[in-house]
Amino acid sequence: MPDDILHLSIYCLTAVIAAACNSVAGGGTFFTFPTLLFYGMPAIQANATSTAALWPGTLASAYAYREDAVKHKDKMPRLITISLIGGTAGAITLLYTPEQTFRELIPWLLLTATVLFAISPKVTDFLHRITKDNSRYQKTGTLGSTLMQLGIAFYGGYFGAGIGILMLAMLGLMGMRDIHEMNGLKTILGSAINATAVALFIFMGVIVWKIAIVMMVGGMIGGYWGARIAKHVPRPLIRGIVIATGSILTVIFFINN
Please say whether the beta carbons of 10 and 211 come within 8 A: no
Lowest mean pLDDT among 14-28, 197-211, 228-242: 228-242
89 pLDDT higher than 90: yes
Position 18 scores a pLDDT of: 84
Q: 132, 67 in Cβ contact below 8 A?
A: no
Provide the pLDDT for residue 93.
Answer: 94
Higher pLDDT, 220 or 155: 155
Alpha-carbon span 184 to 23, nearest angstrom: 9
Task: Parse the chain into domains and list their residue ranges.
Answer: 5-256
Separation between Cα atoms, residue 188 and residue 82, nearest integer Å: 12
Closest alpha carbon to 230 in 22, 23, 61, 68: 23
pLDDT at 137: 47
**Reduced 3-state DSSP string for the chain:** CCCCHHHHHHHHHHHHHHHHHHHHCCCCHHHHHHHHHHCCCCHHHHHHHHHHHHHHHHHHHHHHCHHHHHHHCCCHHHHHHHHHHHHHHHHHHHHCCCHHHHHHHHHHHHHHHHHHHHHHHHHHHHHHHHHCCCHHHHHHHHHHHHHHHHHHHHHHHHCCCCHHHHHHHHHHHCCCCCHHHHHHHHHHHHHHHHHHHHHHHHHHCCCCHHHHHHHHHHHHHHHHHHHHHHHHCCHHHHHHHHHHHHHHHHHHHHHHC
User: How would residue 26 be classed by pLDDT, with cut points 50, 70 and 90?
Assistant: low
The tens digit of pLDDT for each residue in 32-43 reads 988 998 888 999
Q: What is the mean pLDDT of the chain?
A: 80
Residues 12 and 14: their CA atoms lie apart, in Å, by 5
Picking from 6-10, 124-128, 183-187, which range would have the lowest pLDDT averaged per residue? Answer: 124-128
